[in-house]
Chains A and B, each alone.
Chain A
Amino acid sequence: MTPGDSRRTTTIPPVRTTVKAGFVVYSHNDPERKIVILEKGGLRAVDSSVTPRKELFRMRPGDLVGVAALLEREPFLYDLEATEMSDVTIVSEECMESELKNMPLWLLACIRDLSGQNRQRRESMRKPRMENSLKSLADFSKFLKKGKFYPMENLIQEYCWQTKAAVASTKEDLKALCRRRLLELQKQGDSLYITVPEPELLKLFVDYLDYQDQGKPWEPLRLNANQRKAVITLSAIKGDEAKDAPGWLSEFQKKGVELNVSDWIHLVGQGLFKEKDESHYSPVPERVQYFLLALRYETNLRGLL
């Protein structure tokens, strides 16, 4: 890249001045924004809004203040006064602008980038870190005791403390979980309580959202009609029953479920069966229950109630 450009204008030099002890170099009331660089002597930052005035920090030669005020338009919150005879350089807004106009555009962009990085970090420190707040609240709630009455306000407060989520958005997420009947809102006297009808459903919902976030379909809800029937049939079969693949296909057929080889391979692939020996398979009860619960509460999970 060619560093030169045609914006060169006259620069306004910074003001170099000597101040006596006690002189206020920069006041929080000052309408002009500036950067103060201490060349010699000493300065101290004082909070004048409290009585008695409180010293916040001291500056040594080479230190500077006011960058956030000048570059990021942040308020200057304290007064800066000399503790001894001091030499200071004051970079005013006009001086900075005239210098920025004279530097290559890319260097200007670099300074803005450096300045912006700090602001972005400070902003991100105040924000919640989870990507999906509904999934986060569902995961938090899945650990709650089934049927226990939790005071709603306390629960929201605890969750917000853990995650830095805003109370208003947490209430919206709570409503979304209640709409799906994954949580229930109960009123007792003047107080509202949250109960969890079935923590397992919240676990399923977290998995469902997790797949959605990854842009992948969630397998339990992708099964075709015959595969769904097979899951329901399997739920009534003992976990230790073992058969080979044709044996299972004919077992399903006997129970009125028309399953083809592709369906069978799919169900095995979903972990609904485990291989007991070379050609015999037995159902995996926990996996079957997981799929069954997902099918039974499909509308809750999809939010189609």
Chain B
Amino acid sequence: MKFSAGAFLCLEGDLASSLYIVKSGTLSGTSSKSNPAKPKVFEPGSIIGVSSLLENAPWDYTIRALEDCEIDVVNRESLDQALEKSPAWLNSIISFLIKRNHVSEENKRKSDLVQALPSLLYVFAKLLKERSDNTISIARLVQEANLINGTQEEEVRRLLRKLQDLKALKIQGDCMQVQSKELIPLLYETLRFRALERKVSPNILSMTDQMILTVFVKLSQRSKDPLRNGLSAISTADLKTETKKTMHGVTLTTRTMAALVENKILEPSSTLDFHAPIDQVEFFFGDFDHIMDLLELNRIFPLLDKKLVE
């Protein structure tokens, strides 16, 4: 069959009734799911619509001839006849191939999404740094993520929706807003550390550390004392009492505070002697905003991997 330049071979969404084998000429396929600037090109030897016809599925693309083309058309009847003549095991193999293609398509979609996250967070963190407010335009993020990694707009939007589900950001029309400017950079850094250092990032805290920090935050919010050099200060006595209450009788010791002090998340008012009782220290200081960000990170991070492949 001859197709003139500009003629449509099929329309996306229509049910396939034939498959086409390109003998000469070039065709271009566009889809609502793919980048319109990068149409799929079908050249001599290309087979169009195998899966659609075999599965009674609609066309994935709208395909148009870019030049005069010669195309072999195989209709459903010919296909059914040929499959009927084939042995059963061959039909099993064809079914297997179709099923495997669906699996690999889904795997690719998931892999692309997982792979798109680091560059998206990188750009997001850098753009937040440039801004005086906490709002970033989605269009800008799409543009930058595409430039660095080839990430498509739909992928960016899906990732943003997943991050919104995790309460890491809020999508508001064409923009997104973050509660804290530090959470996204922390998330990126933690992912980067895990991937490149192949170790758990120091930002990922133990359950005990998280609970102590939660107590610290609770007491800071309750406290009417002014910040000291931008830091919240909580007396060791209050911290001990509240920890005992919240952590079901756990006694706060210098040992339990060690990791938080070593990672400089909390600072003792005097040098912490690990062999002396904790009461030697009058206060513990901490950057309230940073602690809140760390707690948020520790809430989100364990959920992230699962959320990405959902």
Contacts and interface: CB of A to CB of B under 8 A. Distances in A.
Contacts of A154: 196
A114 B192 contact: no
Nearest to A63: B96
B56 interface: no
Interface string A191-229: 000000000000000100010000000000000000000
A37 interface: yes
A121 B105 contact: yes
Contacts of A135: 147
Chain A contact residues: helix, strand, loop or mixed: helix
A134 B62 CA distance: 32
B304 interface: no
B108 interface: yes
A158 B51 contact: no
18 contacts: A1-B72, A1-B74, A1-B78, A103-B82, A103-B85, A104-B78, A106-B47, A107-B83, A107-B86, A111-B97, A114-B50, A117-B101, A125-B112, A128-B149, A129-B149, A130-B148, A206-B147, A210-B147
A99 B90 contact: yes
Contacts of A143: 122-123, 126
Interface in A141-180: 143, 154, 157-158, 161-164
B105 to A, nearest CB: 7
Given A37-B92, A64-B96, A107-B79, 15 more contacts: A3-B82, A14-B89, A35-B89, A64-B93, A67-B100, A99-B87, A106-B72, A113-B50, A118-B97, A121-B104, A121-B108, A128-B149, A128-B150, A136-B148, A143-B123
Contacts of A3: 74, 78, 81-82
Interface bracket on A: 35 or more
Given A124-B108, A125-B111, A103 B93 contact: no
Interface in B63-82: 72-74, 78-79, 81-82
A124 B82 CA distance: 32
A109 B82 CA distance: 13
B142 to A, nearest CB: 13
Interface string B120-152: 001100100000000000000000100111110
A103 B19 CA distance: 16
Nearest to B116: A129
Contacts of B118: 161-162
Given A114-B50, A125-B108, A143-B126, A62 B92 contact: yes
B94 interface: yes
Given A1-B73, A143-B122, A114 B98 contact: yes
Contacts of A241: none
Contacts of B150: 128-131, 136
